[in-house]
Amino acid sequence: MGIANDDIFNDIEHCGVCADHKPFHFEMGTQRVMLISFAPIYSSQHRPLYFIQLFREICLALFGNVAPSEKFIKEFYDPTGNIYWTHYQKCFKRDIASAPKCEPLLEKEIVALDPEVIIMLGNNITKHLYNRSFENGSIQHQLPTDKHPYIKTKRNGATRKVFFIDSPISENTRHLEEIRKTLKPYISWVKTDCENIDFSSMSFIDLEYASIGFMNEHENVSVSRISSYERDWIDKIILPNIRAYNLILQTFIFIESNIKNLLESNRSPQENIDKVWFSPFRELIYHRLSGNSAKSREQKQAAKNLIDDMYSLQVLRNIIVHKNGVIDERDEGLNLKHIAELRRLKGVYIYGGNSVFISDEGVGNILNICDRFRKIYKEHFAH
């Protein structure tokens, strides 16, 4: 993030307006499309966002009936993507009366990002913002109509399109078609045609049971009522991420057990290997790499990088095991620390504010950490 965007992130992260403050996290980059919903999805405090009905509806509404894949989520979690998703109300709460307190933060976001397209999602957004005039005239004028599904405002002298839609499953498919046509130059794979998309047939509750059924061959769970879109979502997004979670747990168990066995053979009777194992392992590695030659310095730096990655892996493992893949600590400092650690792991993303998603690159990176650990262990400790 740039300096200005870092400032906005910190302003939101440390906002003290609400007593039970728990802000929505995001990364602002060079996105040209801004999606504004009213407030963070409450259930995503406890479950990864890719499991939440509203997120699937948003993807279907914005992208069309395209086979779900990692690229769906990349548009939201990657600052180099093209959708910057934020909220009018920044906290996980439902006090609509206090929501306008967040307007100054939203104004800063709009001015800093200067998006070419803004999509307002939900009736509450419409009620609060349709007659507002932000800096640079970002939101103002009349509401769109069926004939004109968007309004035009100014952005530094250029024209900006602003859409208002009641919900992702609005019966007015003309609005969705127009939104997709507008998105097409930014996201080339968007399907603009609204035909053959029947939102009413989506059986979201079945998805939960089907996900379990797919993971457990012994469960006799009927999946006949699930739409092809949701079946694809299970196969292409849910199951790969669950498998990635499992890979992380198994990798961490392998690394931890080998280090503990190593420390067990080298420790004094008074030491407690369950309390600390990173520091003793680091000391053992550095002891084996004594010397000040260029090769020794290079090996020490490689060992340091590995141990830092292992610590980030431990943070990720704890979020998966104890938080179901969701960062939901209310301690803001701890939240920021977790986010900083996870950013070390390439291909591991936090999107929608707090949900951890492991991309294909992330899976490869986790395997790389395991290979690097195996190599250094074999070189210095295997007998």
- In this predicted model, what pLDDT tens digit does every residue of 305-337 receive, in sequence order? 999 999 899 989 988 988 888 886 555 556 667
**147 and 264 fall within a common domain:** no
Task: Kindly state whether residue 216 falls inside one of the protein's structural domains.
Answer: no
Task: Kindly state whether residue 164 falls inside one of the protein's structural domains.
Answer: yes
**65 and 162 fall within a common domain:** yes
**93 and 180 fall within a common domain:** yes
Task: Kindly state whether residue 213 falls inside one of the protein's structural domains.
Answer: no
Task: Kindly state whether residue 237 falls inside one of the protein's structural domains.
Answer: no
pLDDT (average), residues 38-61: 83
pLDDT of residue 207: 64
Q: How many domains is the chain built from?
A: 2
Asked if residue 130 has pLDDT above 80, the reply is no
Task: Kindly state whether residue 133 falls inside one of the protein's structural domains.
Answer: yes
pLDDT (average), residues 130-140: 48
- The share of the chain scoring above pLDDT 70, in percent, equals 70
CA distances from 350 to 71, 250, 379 (A): 14, 21, 35
Q: How far is CA 281 from the centre of its chain?
A: 32
Domain final position from 193, 226, 256: 193
Asked if residue 235 has pLDDT above 50, the reply is yes
Task: Kindly state whether residue 88 falls inside one of the protein's structural domains.
Answer: yes
Asked if residue 249 has pLDDT above 80, the reply is yes
| CATH number of the CATH domain containing 179 | 3.40.470.10
Domain final position from 175, 193, 211: 193
Query: How many Å apart are CA 176 and CA 264, to the nearest integer?
Result: 62
**173 and 250 fall within a common domain:** no
Where is mean pLDDT largest: 315-324, 360-369, 374-383?
360-369
Number of residues that make up the chain: 383
pLDDT (average), residues 111-123: 86
pLDDT (average), residues 36-60: 84
Phi, psi (rounded to 5 degrees) for 33: -120, 135
**275 and 158 fall within a common domain:** no
Asked if residue 156 has pLDDT above 70, the reply is no
**168 and 69 fall within a common domain:** yes
The pTM is what?
0.81
Domain that holds residue 177: 3-193
Indicate the Cα dihedral angle 74, 75, 76, 77, nearest 10°. Answer: 30
**159 and 265 fall within a common domain:** no
Residue 340 makes CB contacts below 8 A (sequence gap 6+) with: none
Task: Kindly state whether residue 72 falls inside one of the protein's structural domains.
Answer: yes
**30 and 167 fall within a common domain:** yes
**16 and 163 fall within a common domain:** yes
pLDDT tens for residues 65-112?
888 999 998 898 877 889 999 888 887 765 666 677 788 888 888 888
Domain final position from 160, 176, 193: 193
Mean pLDDT of the chain: 77
CA distances from 19 to 16, 25, 99, 255 (A): 7, 18, 13, 41
